[in-house]
Amino acid sequence: MAKNVHEIRDPIHVFIRLDSDERKILNSQPFQRLRYIHQLAMSYLVYPGATHRRFEHSLGVMELADRAYQVLVQSANDAAREQLPDLNGDDKTRYWRRVLRMAALCHDLGHLPFSHAGEAELLPPGWDHERISRAIILSDAMRPLWEDMTPPIRPMDVVKLALGPRKAPEPFSMWETILSEIIVGDAFGVDRMDYLLRDSHHAGVAYGKFDHYRLIDNLRILPPAPAGDRSQGTELSLGVEEGGIHSAEALMLARYFMFSQLYLHPIRRIYDIHLKDFLGAWLPGACFPTDVAAYPRLTDNEVTAAYLEAARRPDKPGHDPARRIVERDHFRVLYSSNPDDVRIHPQPGRAIFDAAVQSFPPERIRYDRVVGKRGAPEFPVAMRDGRVVSSTARSQVLPTVPRFLVEYVFVDRAIHADVLAWLDAHRTDIIKPLEEEPRG
């Protein structure tokens, strides 16, 4: 008899098991493409071990989504079952479990080469990798796979759970919203849990580790905490039991440290900018295509081959940024924002950049602003005495987790000393309070 459960070894979750339908998705061309998309773009130029790919991350997200789903379904109380009819009945819970696993598997299918580098600037307005993921899931290439499953899976259900209400324009039921929160939720999305654990493992930094076993075991579907005496909403969402609050704190701190130490590392950021400059010169029309038929030939491998060639050939488009990547001749940090400066001017980096390009060649200066995910999003906590309270009231740690907002100004190292001297001379003239607008 044919084997229906297949195991894959994984450095984070040890074994990831999938059934034959899921293996068909795994073996499909769009999913196999993820073997050639680095999870952390060019971070391996700073952290040499960070060469892992979206392929294994997507498997990890499926594994964690399934664990979270089993806990949530088994622990759902009568009030949740009353509001969420899909929790009642084995056929329904089995169907949604399959959809959730497929959505977790497919949530990153639309990533561009080198993941996020250049996504905002090199796609047409209104497009992002989520929209491309959606197009791939709904494509002719994947439709037969959904239809052949037993029972068949509605591909739009997969899209909704993989993208969440922020990126999918369709209306969501409360149940669909909760299921999408399992994957892409701001507080307890397993996408984030897996990438923190996996990125930390491969980069060789310890900051991203937290007790995800305990956290997932304590996830619950809960009503919102009151937001004032007359403000009790009704929408259910993901929260934790009181016993899981410290694991939740550890997750939020892990996120903060991974952003501050790894994801927003300035050298990583400037390599992304050089790569973006190269792609802008190399891509026809300075734009990635939106036709999913083009995506099999759009991976890190094609881009790497192109920039290696362009680095050797001054006549090739994008020669200069390609050469900077290959020869490690990246721009250097002139300025990174800090809380003191932000208290004086809301965008000090922008102010410095705008002033610097008046005095130095603009092509030798770059501005970068990164808005990270919120410090620690609020979520409901089920107390041992039966009350549901806000995480910000229950935890002393969560309200103190800083938010990420970093501005960098980079300059060509050939003029770095000159620009730095200029900045020293003009800093207080540039970083100053906004002037009052003239009265009419």
Partner 1 sequence: MDSIKRAAVLADLTQRLEQQGSWCGETHIQKATYLAQALAGIPTGFEFILYKHGPFSFDLSDELDVLQAQEILASVPQRMPYGPRIRTTEVGRKLRDCFPRMVGELDGRLALVAGVVRDRGATDLERLATALLVSLEPAAGRSVGAKAARLRELNPHVGEAEARAAVEEIETLQGRAAGMAEVGA
| In the complex, least distance from residue 396 CB atom to partner 1, rounded to whole angstroms | 9
**Residues in the chain, overall count:** 440
From residue 164 to residue 203, the character string flagging contacts with partner 1 as x (rule: CB under 8 A) and all else as - is -xx--x-xx----x--------------------------
Q: Whose structure tokens read 């549901």? A: 388
- Tally of CA atoms within 13 A in the half-sphere of 427 that contains its CB: 12
Nearer to partner 1, 358 or 396 (CB): 396
Nearer to partner 1, 429 or 435 (CB): 435
Among 360, 392, 416, 426, binds partner 1 (CB under 8 A): 392
Among 28, 404, 420, 430, binds partner 1 (CB under 8 A): 404
| In the complex, least distance from residue 331 CB atom to partner 1, rounded to whole angstroms | 25
Q: Whose structure tokens read 């819970």? A: 93
**Hey, how many other C-beta atoms are within 10 angstroms of the C-beta on 379?**
25
3 is a site residue for partner 1 (CB under 8 A) = no
Q: Is the CB of residue 328 less than 8 Å from the CB of residue 414?
A: no
Nearer to partner 1, 9 or 439 (CB): 439
CA 252, distance to chain mean position in Å, is 14
| In the complex, least distance from residue 437 CB atom to partner 1, rounded to whole angstroms | 5
With CB under 8 A, what is the number of residues at the site for partner 1?
Answer: 49
Among 73, 326, 342, 430, binds partner 1 (CB under 8 A): 342
Query: What residues contact residue 358 under an 8 Å CB cut-off, 6+ apart?
Result: none
Applying the rule CB under 8 A, the residues between 358 and 387 that interact with partner 1 are 371, 374-375, 378, 383, 387
Among 74, 150, 234, 428, binds partner 1 (CB under 8 A): 234
| In the complex, least distance from residue 329 CB atom to partner 1, rounded to whole angstroms | 32
Nearer to partner 1, 314 or 438 (CB): 438
Nearer to partner 1, 152 or 171 (CB): 171
| In the complex, least distance from residue 427 CB atom to partner 1, rounded to whole angstroms | 19
Nearer to partner 1, 332 or 345 (CB): 345
Report strand pairing: 237-241 vs 380-382. Answer: parallel
* Calculated CA dihedral for residues 105, 109, 112, 117, nearest 10 degrees: -30
115 is a site residue for partner 1 (CB under 8 A) = no
403 is a site residue for partner 1 (CB under 8 A) = yes
From residue 78 to residue 107, the character string flagging contacts with partner 1 as x (rule: CB under 8 A) and all else as - is ------------------------------
Nearer to partner 1, 236 or 415 (CB): 236
Nearer to partner 1, 361 or 399 (CB): 399
From residue 128 to residue 167, the character string flagging contacts with partner 1 as x (rule: CB under 8 A) and all else as - is -------------------------------------xx-
| In the complex, least distance from residue 189 CB atom to partner 1, rounded to whole angstroms | 14
From the list 15-23, 232-240, 270-278, 314-322, the region that binds partner 1 by CB under 8 A is 232-240
From the list 112-120, 227-235, 268-276, 357-365, the region that binds partner 1 by CB under 8 A is 227-235
Site residues (vs partner 1, CB under 8 A):
165-166, 169, 171-172, 177, 224-235, 237, 339, 342-343, 346-347, 371, 374-375, 378, 383, 387-390, 392-394, 399, 402-405, 433-440
